[in-house]
Amino acid sequence: MKRNPLILFFIAAIVAAMLFAGVRMARKNRANGPTNGQLMGNLAPDFELQGLDGKSMKLSDFRGKAVLLNFWATYCEPCKIEIPWFVELQKEYGPQGFQIVGVAMDDASTEDIAKFAKEMGVNYPILLGKESVGQSYGGVSVLPISFFLDRDGKLIAREFGLQSRSVFVDHIKKALSQGQAVQAQK
C-alpha cells in the first residue's frame, strides 16, 4: 500500500504538537510545586503513623490545634537547623493550641532516629514516615518540607527547604488564628 507523504507529515506534526503540549504541561506542574491548587485550602490528608514509642498516631488527633507538619530526615543538615527553632516554638506557642508533628522520612533505624531526636532535645512527636504519606502530600522529593494546618485541619501554607525562623512564626500565628479551637483528643 502506498502511503501519502503528506499524511505522514501531518501525523508527524500532530505527534510533535502533542509532545510540545505534554512537556509544557509537565513544566507548568513542576513549576507550581506538587501541591499547589490541589491541597492548599483543603483538609490535610489524614494518616496514621507509628511514633518512636511504638504507638500509632493520627494527624486528625490534633484537630482543634494549629499544626506544623514537618517532613525531615536524620541525614538532612538544613533540618538540623530548623529543629531547635521548632523546640522553642513548641514551647512558646504550645499553650495557645499549637502542635508540631515531625515525620521522619529516612531509612535510618528507629533507634537512630530516636537517638537523633534525643540529641536535638525534640519536645514534639516524631512519627516514622512512609512513602505513601509523602505521596499524599505531593511527594517528598526534597527535605525539609513543612505544612501548616489551621485548627480545622485545613492546609494554609507550605515551605520547601530551610526558611528563616520568622517565616515559621508568621505561618504559626496565621494557623492559630484560623479555624475553630476545640479540645484536642490528644
Which positions lie near another protein, rule CB under 8 A?
5-6, 8-9, 11-13, 15-16, 19-20, 22-23, 26-27, 30, 73-81, 105, 107-108, 112, 116, 140-144, 160-162
Please name every residue paired with 158 in a beta bridge, in sequence order, or none if there are none: 147
- Taking the complex as a whole, the smallest distance from the CB of residue 140 to another protein amounts, in Å, to 8
161: Cα separation from own chain's centroid: 11
User: Which of 31/95 has CB closer to another protein?
Assistant: 31
**With contact defined as beta carbons under 8 Å apart, do 44 and 153 qualify?**
yes
Least distance in angstroms from the C-beta of 66 to another protein: 24
Of 150, 27, 51, 134, nearest to 96 by C-alpha is: 150
For the bound state, the minimum distance from the C-beta of residue 177 to another protein, rounded and expressed in Å, comes to 28
Q: Measured between alpha carbons, how far is 94 from 88 in angstroms, rounded to an integer?
A: 10
**Number of other CB atoms surrounding residue 115 within 10 Å:** 13
Q: Cell triple for residue 183? A: 479540645
Tell me the residue ranges of DSSP E strands in 52-92: 56-58, 66-72
By beta-carbon proximity to another protein, the closer residue of 141 and 180 is 141
Q: How far is the CB of 143 from another protein (least distance, A)?
A: 5
Give the nearer residue to another protein in terms of CB position, either 29 or 96: 29
Q: Which CB sits closer to another protein, 8 or 181?
A: 8
